[in-house]
Amino acid sequence: MDKADRRPQTMDDGLLSTVHRPSSPKATGWRLFLKTIIARAYPRVIGQQRDTSWMLFDMLMPMGGVIAYVLVYRAIGAPEEYVGFVVMGGAMTAFWLNILWSMSSQLYWEKETGNLALYIMSPNSMMAVLLGMALGGMLATTLRALVVTILGSLIFHVQYEVVSFLQLFTVFLLAMVALYGMGMMLASLFLLLGREAWHMANLAQEPIYLVSGFYFPIKSFPFWVAAAASIIPLTLGMDAMRQLVFPSGVSLGFLTVSTEIGILLVLSAVFIVAAKLLLAHMEKLAIREGRLTESRR
Amino acid sequence: MAVATHNPHPATPDSQFVIRISESWRSFKMATWLGWQIESNWTDPFLFAVYSIVKPLAGASILVVMYGIITHGNFSNPMFPYIYLGNAFYIYVGAVMTGVSWAVVDDREHYKTLKYMYIAPIRIPLYLLGRGVARFVTGSIAVFITVMAGVLFLHVPLDPLQANWPLFFLTLFLGVIMLALMGLLLAGVTLLIVRHEGFIGEATAGALYIFSGAVFPLDVLPAWLRPVGFAMPTTYWLELLRRSLVGGVAQAFPTLSGFSNLQLLGILLGLSILFGVLGVFVFRRCDWIAREKGLIDRTTNY
């Protein structure tokens, strides 16, 4: 079902003005960079919480998928740990949807609403804007994912046995950094897209749920398919977290947790550097081709 | 300044009827064309074809992999065609029902043309239904590809010579009309809603996915939730589609095994009429309220 997911996340656009108050002395350098990050994260963290009904929808919608897949597993007599896999996968869909609709497509929405040109002409770094989007999105989505996990666990009586909280926290953090780094990179790629951006984001939902093993262990795929899918940070992130929180997780794991942590570390660095390089390139290209203010509906 | 006009040839009831039919047909036809353009002309035909194929196949593949892992690839079990075909035909629910209601969001919020549609000489309900046709076409392509992939690669036991094609096409026709009218109901509700219009179709389709026994028999649901499933026309629609294509395999499940095809068809028809009448009534009521409150041209930038 689609998602569907069709959610133009522009509610925070109007709120930006609330944090752009004249300040003295004028911030420059790193101070400006940090202030920009906070300013862009603010509407995502605070603004979205103000709209409680939206938040409610965002938390309850993934539950539909979770319930359906859990019942499919029960219908075919799957072991109970698969129910836990589905609950975790359902919670993590919130992050992937956030990456698609509120990171990758965000600059397209900003273009549609006229904010993008304002970002470009303001004296701050676009990288800081993207980082702010990522930070705000990550915090707001974590809250939603947490609610899905708690609800799913309560409804379906999921049992957890955490092996190492430190490793679990590290894996989650690295997966998020790599994932949002990837989101920042995709945002710069989407900068050039017109209305096809919506369709591209829509297209990237189910195939990623499939190849990243949102609802089943990634080990079920042939090695090279699973290895290729590992380019999506959630693939290894979920695999490692399942190994760390479910009793039978280790036997269904793709690689060892420490190897997956190492790969996630590399992915984090690669995606953030690639985002910076691509953003600079795409911004120049978009300016040269006059695509920053176009609105092809 | 009002200008009085005098029509020397007042329309007779017969000619008024012809005009209404002509206007309705024109509304439906043009909306269908417009819907198709919106759905398809954002890219080149190749990418559009890839888009139309990859998305439904990926959705079906999730279930196939889940099933394959647990049963160690035992695709000959009747449960597999039950899940696979239910999921494949469920594509229509999202496509048709949400397609009709989404046209309100698209026209009001995105293109900002809904107010122009309201002042144009067209019939709005037929215009919205026409906008759903494009989704029906793309949905049909997705369903066909998904079913064919199941038959060719996953041994879904669909024998074209054994299938009950008259029952299949009759069920499909009834179901699509039923879904379109349910879409109209949602379109009416959408007219009155601020900011969450996009969720309405998605939430309804999601709920129907669970309560219609699309990918698992209704017996898997807790007993207190099953009556909801029995009240949904989609439950009987999916059951009839399965029975018409894979016959005895579909009848192996106890939930609706006590009903003959004719009985199921009767229930489907009855519930379709009920939901259809409800859809038209709700749309008319919501449309009236939306006009009264000036909501037709409201945009929220969400």
Per-residue pLDDT of chain A (297 residues; tens, 9 = 90+): 333 334 444 444 444 444 555 556 777 778 888 998 898 888 888 876 677 767 777 777 778 889 999 999 999 989 988 999 999 999 999 899 888 888 888 887 787 777 888 888 888 888 888 888 888 888 888 888 998 999 999 999 998 999 999 999 999 999 999 999 898 888 888 777 766 777 788 888 889 999 999 999 999 999 999 999 999 999 999 999 999 999 887 888 999 999 999 999 999 999 999 988 888 887 787 777 776 666 655
CB contact under 8 A, A216 and B61: no
With a pLDDT cut of 90, the percent of chain A lying above it is: 38
Helices (H), chain B: 13-40, 45-71, 79-92, 98-105, 114-119, 124-153, 165-192, 197-211, 226-230, 233-246, 248-251, 261-292
A231: three-class secondary structure by DSSP: coil
Terminal CA-CA length for chain A = 24
Q: What is the pLDDT of residue B53?
A: 82
Number of domains chain B contains: 1
Determine contact: A11 vs chain B, CB below 8 A. yes
CB contact under 8 A, B199 and A57: yes
* Domain presence at residue B9: no
Q: What is the pLDDT of residue A9?
A: 43
Q: Which residues of B touch A67 (CB under 8 A)?
A: 210
pLDDT in tens, B111-143: 888 999 999 888 999 999 999 898 899 899 999
pLDDT in tens, B70-126: 999 888 888 899 999 999 999 999 889 988 988 898 888 888 889 999 998 889 999
Q: Which residues of A touch B61 (CB under 8 A)?
A: 210
- Count chain A–chain B contacts defined by CB atoms under 8 A: 130
DSSP calls for B189-246: HHHH-SS-HHHHHHHHHHHHHHHTTSSS-GGGS-TTTHHHHHT-HHHHHHHHHHHHHH
Range of the domain at B174: 27-292
Q: Identify the band that residue B13 occupies on the pLDDT scale cut at 50, 70 and 90.
A: low
Q: Which residues of B touch A199 (CB under 8 A)?
A: 42-43, 51
Tokens of B122: 């067209």
**Torsional sign, CA B66, B68, B74, B80:** positive
Identify which has the larger pLDDT, B151 or B23.
Answer: B151
Identify which has the larger pLDDT, B302 or A99.
Answer: A99
CB contact under 8 A, A71 and B55: no
Tokens of B111: 């293109």
Q: Tell me which amino acid residue B7 is.
A: N
Q: Which residues of B touch A221 (CB under 8 A)?
A: 65
Whole-number Å distance between alpha carbons of A217 and A248: 11
Whole-number Å distance between alpha carbons of B114 and B110: 10
* Domain presence at residue B220: yes
* Domain presence at residue B41: yes
CB contact under 8 A, B66 and A10: no
Q: Which residues of B touch A203 (CB under 8 A)?
A: 51, 54-55
Closest CB to B195 among A54, A69, A195 = A54
* Domain presence at residue B207: yes
Q: What is the pLDDT of residue A6?
A: 40
| Average pLDDT across chain B, whole number | 87
Of A295, A237, A242, A283, which is closest to residue A263 (Cα–Cα)? Answer: A237
* Domain presence at residue B90: yes
CB contact under 8 A, A51 and B198: no
- Residue A130 near residue A279, CB atoms below 8 Å: yes
Q: Identify whether B160 is preceded by a cis peptide bond (ω within 30 of 0).
A: no
* Domain presence at residue B103: yes
Backbone φ and ψ for B158, nearest 5 degrees, come out as -100, 110
Q: Tell me which amino acid residue B58 is.
A: A
Q: What is the pLDDT of residue A11?
A: 43
Among chain A residues, CA nearest to B68: A220
Each domain of chain A, given as residue ranges in start order, spans 29-288
Q: Identify the band that residue B8 occupies on the pLDDT scale cut at 50, 70 and 90.
A: low
Nearest-neighbour CA in chain A from B220: distance (Å)? 6
Q: Tell me which amino acid residue B210 is.
A: I
